[in-house]
Amino acid sequence: MDGRSGPGRGWLLRLVIAFSFAQGAVSMARPAVSYRALSLGADERAIGVITGVYALLPLFAAVPLGRRTDHGRCAPLLPVGVVLIAGGCALSGTAGSLPAMAAWSGVMGLGHLCFVIGAQSIVARQSAPAEQDRNFGHFTIGASLGQLIGPVAAGHLISAGDGAMARTSAVALVVSAAVAALSFASLWRVEHRAPLRPREDRAAKVPVGRILRTRGVPAGIFISLAVLSATDILTAYLPVVGEQRSIAPATIGLLLSLRAAATIACRLVMTPMLRLLGRTTLLTTTCLLAGLLCAGIALPVPVWALAVMLAVLGFCLGAGQPLSMTTVVQAAPERARSTALALRLTGNRLGQVAAPASAGLVAGFAGTAAPFVMLGALLLGAAGLGVRGGRARPTEKEAAGPVRRTASTPTNRNPT
């Protein structure tokens, strides 16, 4: 596909809307799952296991799903993902035991993985190389909207008073299933029909080891892992920091919402920033600033300064995910781009398991501010990889010059 349909022209807008509902459902369901498990008698360890199943179970399916998408259509994965998300949410709300909660949490995670692999592969296929940064930036706005609205909606529905948490958390999970189902309203004509490749091309598989050894792919995976880990740990540990500094929970909620809103703002202005700085400089600068700001959260600053830091941090974190998608797509062999995106998502899921565990270990030894210093170091490493990735040689397609691009197509000043 040549990417002639830009953002706001149909397929990408519908994809963003569908992703907003799907991500909103997951973001709403995950805290509701924890509250539901607590009402069933779960302790901190059980909550950790249920959370881990959400991230670990899909790891076994990521590469096979990427392989299937590389050699076929992407769109069928989207309704499958929505059905699994909605089913996992609804059945978590009716589950009567902790093992059942863990199982349905895994189903929800698998559905989210299906949807994201299919959607990212569609963006990669239907965007010209010079449009991928912009289109991935607009695509990830859907995730940011879901992450902004979902937890707030869950908080309004769930009540811990008078033993009502079991009922209200179940209601929140059923509502999240309905939110996921709304994705179906915009899942039409999101994928253009493409001519089938010859049978021998479809049968050929690029080994995973070769994909991971391709220059630019490991850097993209690590940058994505670092940015996602920063977002997850920030969400988990900022309330703890607020408790220690006597910052009200409502204020902490507003600070987290400010971070999410700044991330959306970053993705809305991705195109002019790329024209001004280029991908390598933008990726390196945002990771560097994010690393310094994460470490700065460990300092005992006043609330207003913390708000400023989180707003700038959220803006910087908004660039990492879409730019890492483009880095991986353009570095990977053409016949294995969906598999490469699946490997990137695998790295994300591993980070969602390993980063909180490492943060908890560090916090136990050095206090709750220490995980933010750890995140700072992780993001500084990502900045270094961003510089190195920018020096990688261009892919064969890019070296051949501007192919199938119209006069209105913007150029990318720093292709990876």
Give dist(CA 78, CA 72) in Å, integer: 14
Give dist(CA 338, CA 342) in Å, integer: 6
Whether the predicted pLDDT of 407 surpasses 50 = no
Share of the chain above pLDDT 70, in %: 84
- Confidence band, pLDDT 50/70/90 cuts, at residue 89: very high
Give dist(CA 110, CA 54) in Å, integer: 8
Can you give the pLDDT at residue 42? 79
- In this structure, the dihedral spanned by the alpha carbons of residues 147, 154, 54 and 223, taken in order and rounded to 10 degrees, is 20
Whether the predicted pLDDT of 222 surpasses 60 = yes
Q: What is the pLDDT of residues 284-332, one digit of tens each?
A: 999 999 999 988 888 888 999 999 999 999 999 998 888 888 888 888 8
Can you give the pLDDT at residue 114? 92
Whether the predicted pLDDT of 4 surpasses 80 = no
Can you give the pLDDT at residue 198? 52
| Burial per residue of 375-392, b for 16 or more beta-carbon CB atoms within 10 angstroms, e otherwise | bbebbbebbbbbeebbeb
Whether the predicted pLDDT of 411 surpasses 50 = no
Q: Compute the mean pLDDT over every residue in the chain, rounded to the nearest whole number.
A: 80
Whether the predicted pLDDT of 6 surpasses 90 = no
Whether the predicted pLDDT of 235 surpasses 50 = yes
Average pLDDT over residues 376-398: 65
- List the single range of 88-102, 335-349, 364-378 with lowest mean pLDDT: 364-378
Can you give the pLDDT at residue 415? 36
- List the single range of 82-86, 269-273, 385-389 with lowest mean pLDDT: 385-389
Share of the chain above pLDDT 90, in %: 20
End-to-end CA separation in angstroms for the chain = 20
